[in-house]
Structure 1
Amino acid sequence: MVLNNIEKLLEKYENGETSLKEEQVLKNYFTSDTVAPHLEMYKPMFAYFLGNQQEQFTKDVPLKTKTIFNYKWISVAAVAVLMLGFYFGTSFGNTDLGTYEDPQLAFNEFSKSMEMISTKFNKGASTVSYLNEVNKGTSTLGYLNEIENTTSIIFKN
């Protein structure tokens, strides 16, 4: 009778339908010396479970928290440094605006500046004068487009 009960419990155990009390009955039966010969194969498994149940972890677990660096404050500090730099850079900068008290002297300096700009501009414009030739070439290509249009009209009809 006891053997039939153990076999039914084993079948329930293999199907995962046993309760904790029923599993304890199985562990007690298989750790005893009186195990049926055809059920000897289950004895090492339940002995392992019983030994595993008595194990304890004895090492200390370190509970250090990882410090998280907040990058938002770096961006706030960078903006503050930039704003201070702009403010103090403009207030302590050179206050000389290049103005002249004498109008004739101002006119002469302005004339020198305009003459220098004019000579540099004319020098640059002379180096790109070949672009006029390119424009002439592209207008000639426009004539080729006209010829192509007329030939396509002729051959379509």
Structure 2
Amino acid sequence: MELNKIELLVEKYFQGESSIAEENELRTYFSSLHVAQHLEQYKPLFGYLSLAADQKFAPEIALDSKQDFQNEFKKRKVTWLSIAASVVVLMGIGTYGYYNDEFEKGKQNLGTYDDPELAFRQTQKALALLSNHVNVGIESVKYIEEYQESKELIFKQ
């Protein structure tokens, strides 16, 4: 009777229909010394499962070393951040010095004129140049307006 029950439990186990209690019963049976000859082939399987169930996970890294690692990581991070901040500050100072020097050089030559008529002509040239560039920009906007009107006619929004 016992052998028939074990054979039925093995069948249920391989079909995935066995309960935890039935699996424990199979482990107990296959870990004993009295296993039927035709069921000997399953002994290593259930023997391994019983050994795996008894094993416990033990972390390999101690908590102190984990904290040491985190502290070292934070120190490295702070070191790199301070180096990066120093580089940014130095670049800012260098950029300010460069542009301030250029500004001082440009400040000396203000383009002043002693003759008012010459100043008037130069101002007219500058304004004409500015006007030409503004007109080019306005022409581009006109093309966009025409495109918008055409699109509205086509799609009738």
TM-score (structure 2 length as normaliser)? 0.46
Structure number having the greater helix percentage: 2
Q: Whose Rg is larger?
A: 1
